[in-house]
C-alpha cells in the first residue's frame, strides 16, 4: 500500500510513525516531511500549501491514499482536487474545512445546530467591535476568524486588553487575512478536552480524549500557542461525558454541515470546555488531527488505524480501533521567542539513549548542509512517553525533554498538572 502524508510537522511524523509501526510493509511518502520522517518515508520537497503540485504528485505516484495533515491545504481544497482526479483522500472538502478556517462560519453552524458554545458576535469593522467590547463582561475572548496557526485566540482579563486585541487585528493587521474578521465571545469556565473522531460524515469513531496545554508558561500563564504538550487519558472524560459530546456536539455538527452540502469526511476535532455543571461547551472545531494531540493519542493505538483512514477516505465507517491500557504524555520543546518570533538555526542534540517508552517526534527541525540537526520552527520537538500509569508517563516525558538540548530551549515541566493533582 502506498500512502502520501501531506505536511511536515510533529503531527505528520506521528501519523507516519503510527502507520509504519502498525504496517511495516506500507510505502510512505511525505510532502514536505521532516528529518524525523526521513528514516521511515520518502520525502517530496513540495510545500503543504502547494495543492496543485501535491495533487499532481498523488496522481503521478499512484498513491492508494493521501492523508492530509495540516488545515491550510484542506481549506485550499486539496481533498477536493484529489477526489476530482479519482484519488482517495483522508480529509474534508474545502466547504467542510470552513468549520475551522472561519470561526464566524463555525459559530453559525453551532447556532443553527444548537450546539452549546460561548455567546459571541463577529465583526469586520473596528468601531462596532470596540463598542461591543466596551459593553462586554470581563474576561472576554477575542479571536481571529481565519487560520492563525493556533495562535489567533486571545483571552483578555479586561475590556481594555480586549480593545487592544481588536485594534491589533482589525486596524493593525496582526494576523493578516485571518484577522480581517474578529469573533468576540464570552469566556468559558471549566476544564478543556480535545475530542477527535474519525468520520465519514455520518458514523463516528472516537479516539482517546486528551488535554492540550495552550499557554506558553507553566501554570497556564503567558500567551496562547499552538500547544505546549498534552496527555491522555483525562479523568473527566468519562464514557458518559464522551457520549454527550458525540450526541450534543459532533452528530449535530455533521448533520448541519451535510444539510449545507458540505459532508465532512476525515478527522473532526472538537475542543471542549466542560462547564462546572458538566455541559460540554465547544471552544472550537478543527478539521484535522490535532497537534500535539496526535502525538499523544496515536502511540496508544494497538491497531486499526490504517484501515480506518482508508475506510473513511472511501466514505465508509472507520470501524473499531484497538487502544492499549496505560497513559501517554507529550512535552513540546519550542524555540526561544516562540510564539511571536521564534529563533531558528540552533544545533539540536538528541541522546542515543532516552527513557523507556519515549519517542521523539520532529516538528520544526531541519538538517543543514553538513548534516547537523537544527531548529527551523517555533515548536521543534515533541517528546512522547507511553507508560502503564500517568505518573510514569509524565516523569518519562519530562526526563526525555530534559535530556535533549539546543540553545534557547523553551518547555513546560508541568504537562498534565491537573491530572497529577487528582492523584
Q: How far apart are CA 364 and CA 381, in angstroms?
A: 7
Q: Are residues 252 and 148 in the same domain?
A: no
* CATH code at position 9: 3.40.50.20
Q: Are residues 274 and 348 in the same domain?
A: no
Q: How far apart are CA 31 and CA 304, in angstroms?
A: 24
In this structure, is residue 53 part of a structural domain? yes
In this structure, is residue 411 part of a structural domain? yes
Q: Are residues 173 and 202 in the same domain?
A: no
Q: Are residues 312 and 204 in the same domain?
A: yes
Q: Are residues 347 and 361 in the same domain?
A: yes
Q: Are 208 and 193 in contact (CB under 8 A)?
A: no
How far apart, in Å, are the Cα atoms of 289 and each of 12, 26, 194, 274, 305?
A: 9, 20, 10, 21, 13
Q: Are residues 284 and 231 in the same domain?
A: yes
The residue behind cell 443553527 is 112
Alpha helices, H only, 275-415: 293-297, 305-313, 390-403
* CATH code at position 294: 3.30.470.20
* CATH code at position 134: 3.30.1490
Identify the helix (H) or strand (E) that includes residue 299.
none
The residue behind cell 513540546 is 332
Identify the helix (H) or strand (E) that includes residue 190.
none
The residue behind cell 527551523 is 376
Task: Give the pLDDT score at 153.
Answer: 87
In this structure, is residue 98 part of a structural domain? no
CA geometry: angle 36, 39, 42, nearest 5 deg: 100
Q: Are residues 396 and 353 in the same domain?
A: yes
Q: Which residue(s) pair with 358 in the sheet?
A: 385
In this structure, is residue 305 part of a structural domain? yes
Q: Are residues 261 and 152 in the same domain?
A: no
In this structure, is residue 66 part of a structural domain? yes
How far apart, in Å, are the Cα atoms of 278 and each of 124, 210, 269?
A: 34, 17, 19
**Cell numbers standing for residue 85:** 482526479
Q: How far apart are CA 215 and CA 402, in angstroms?
A: 20
Q: Which domain range does residue 164 map to?
A: 125-180
* Cis bond before residue 292 (omega within 30° of 0): yes
Closest to 299 measured CA to CA, from 197, 370, 362, 387:
387
**Cell numbers standing for residue 375:** 531548529
In this structure, is residue 105 part of a structural domain? no
CA geometry: angle 312, 316, 318, nearest 5 deg: 55
**Cell numbers standing for residue 78:** 486539496
Q: Are residues 270 and 379 in the same domain?
A: no
Q: Are residues 241 and 223 in the same domain?
A: yes
In this structure, is residue 213 part of a structural domain? yes
In this structure, is residue 164 part of a structural domain? yes
Q: How many CA atoms lie within 13 A of 105 on its CB side?
A: 19
Q: How many CA atoms lie within 13 A of 249 on its CB side?
A: 28
The residue behind cell 487519558 is 233
Phi then psi for residue 231, to 5 deg, are: -150, 160
Task: Give the pLDDT score at 151.
Answer: 75
> SS3 for 112?
helix
Alpha helices, H only, 44-93: 51-60, 71-76, 78-84
**Cell numbers standing for residue 81:** 482536487
Q: How far apart are CA 271 and CA 202, in angstroms?
A: 19
Q: How far apart are CA 27 and CA 306, in angstroms?
A: 12
Sheet holding 182-186, edge to edge: 120-123, 182-186, 140-144, 153-156
Last residue of a domain, one of 298, 323, 348: 323
Q: What is the dihedral sign for C-alpha 229, 115, 143, 108?
A: positive
Q: Are 71 and 97 in contact (CB under 8 A)?
A: yes
> SS3 for 392?
helix
* CATH code at position 345: 3.90.600.10
How far apart, in Å, are the Cα atoms of 382 and each of 126, 294, 331, 350, 421?
A: 39, 11, 6, 12, 23
The residue behind cell 449545507 is 260
Q: How far apart are CA 204 and CA 243, in angstroms?
A: 11
Please give the average pLDDT of every successive group of 10 residues along the chain, which has 423 residues: 98 98 96 96 98 98 98 97 98 98 94 95 94 93 86 89 94 90 93 97 97 95 93 97 97 98 98 94 96 98 96 97 96 96 97 96 97 97 98 98 98 97 88
Q: How far apart are CA 140 and CA 163, in angstroms?
A: 10
Last residue of a domain, one of 73, 91, 109: 91
Last residue of a domain, one of 49, 70, 91: 91
Number of compact structural domains in the chain: 4
Q: Are residues 398 and 333 in the same domain?
A: yes
Q: Are residues 233 and 288 in the same domain?
A: yes
CA geometry: angle 65, 329, 409, nearest 5 deg: 95
Amino acid at each position: 500500500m502506498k500512502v502520501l502524508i501531506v505536511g511536515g510537522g510533529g503531527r505528520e511524523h506521528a501519523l507516519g510513525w503510527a502507520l509504519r509501526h502498525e504496517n511495516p510493509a506500507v510505502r510512505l511518502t511525505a510532502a514536505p516531511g521532516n528529518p524525523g520522517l526521513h528514516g521511515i518515508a520518502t520525502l517530496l520537497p513540495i510545500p503543504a500549501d502547494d495543492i496543485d503540485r501535491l495533487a499532481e504528485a498523488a496522481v503521478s505516484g499512484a498513491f492508494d491514499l493521501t492523508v492530509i495533515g495540516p488545515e491550510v491545504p484542506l481549506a485550499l481544497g486539496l481533498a477536493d482536487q484529489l477526489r476530482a482526479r479519482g484519488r482517495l483522500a483522508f480529509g474534508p472538502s474545502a466547504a467542510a474545512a470552513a468549520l475551522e478556517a472561519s470561526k464566524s462560519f463555525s459559530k453559525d453552524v453551532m447556532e443553527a445546530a444548537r450546539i452549546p458554545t460561548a455567546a459571541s458576535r463577529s465583526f469586520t469593522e473596528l468601531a462596532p467591535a470596540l463598542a461591543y467590547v466596551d459593553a462586554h463582561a470581563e474576561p472576554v475572548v477575542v479571536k481571529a476568524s481565519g487560520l492563525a496557526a493556533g495562535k489567533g485566540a486571545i483571552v483578555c482579563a479586561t475590556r481594555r486588553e480586549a480593545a487592544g486585541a481588536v485594534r491589533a487585528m482589525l486596524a493593525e493587521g496582526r494576523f493578516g487575512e485571518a484577522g480581517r474578521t474578529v469573533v468576540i465571545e464570552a469566556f468559558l469556565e471549566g476544564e478543556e478536552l480535545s475530542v477527535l473522531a474519525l468520520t465519514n460524515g455520518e458514523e463516528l469513531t472516537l479516539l482517546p480524549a486528551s488535554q492540550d496545554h495552550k499557554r506558553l508558561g507553566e501554570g497556564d500563564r503567558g500567551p496562547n500557542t499552538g500547544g505546549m504538550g498534552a496527555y491522555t487519558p483525562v479523568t473527566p472524560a468519562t464514557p458518559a461525558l464522551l457520549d454527550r459530546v458525540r450526541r450534543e456536539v459532533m452528530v449535530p455538527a455533521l448533520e448541519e454541515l451535510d444539510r449545507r452540502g458540505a459532508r465532512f469526511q476525515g478527522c473532526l476535532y472538537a475542543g471542549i470546555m466542560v462547564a462546572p455543571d458538566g455541559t460540554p461547551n465547544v471552544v472550537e472545531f478543527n478539521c484535522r488531527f490535532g497537534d500535539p494531540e496526535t502525538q499523544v493519542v496515536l502511540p496508544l493505538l494497538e491497531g486499526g488505524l490504517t484501515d480506518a483512514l482508508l475506510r473513511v477516505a472511501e466514505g465508509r465507517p472507520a470501524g473499531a480501533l484497538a487502544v492499549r491500557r496505560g497513559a501517554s504524555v507529550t512535552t513540546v520543546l519550542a524555540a526561544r521567542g516562540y510564539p511571536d518570533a521564534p529563533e531558528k538555526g540552533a544545533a539540536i542534540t538528541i541522546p542515543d539513549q532516552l527513557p523507556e517508552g519515549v519517542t521523539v517526534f520532529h516538528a520544526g527541525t531541519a538538517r543543514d548542509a553538513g548534516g547537523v540537526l537544527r531548529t527551523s520552527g517555533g515548536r521543534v520537538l515533541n517528546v512522547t512517553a507511553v507508560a502503564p500509569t500517568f505518573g510514569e508517563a509524565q516523569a518519562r516525558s519530562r526526563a526525555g525533554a530534559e535530556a535533549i538540548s539546543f540553545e534557547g530551549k523553551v518547555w513546560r515541566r508541568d504537562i498534565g498538572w491537573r491530572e497529577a493533582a487528582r492523584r
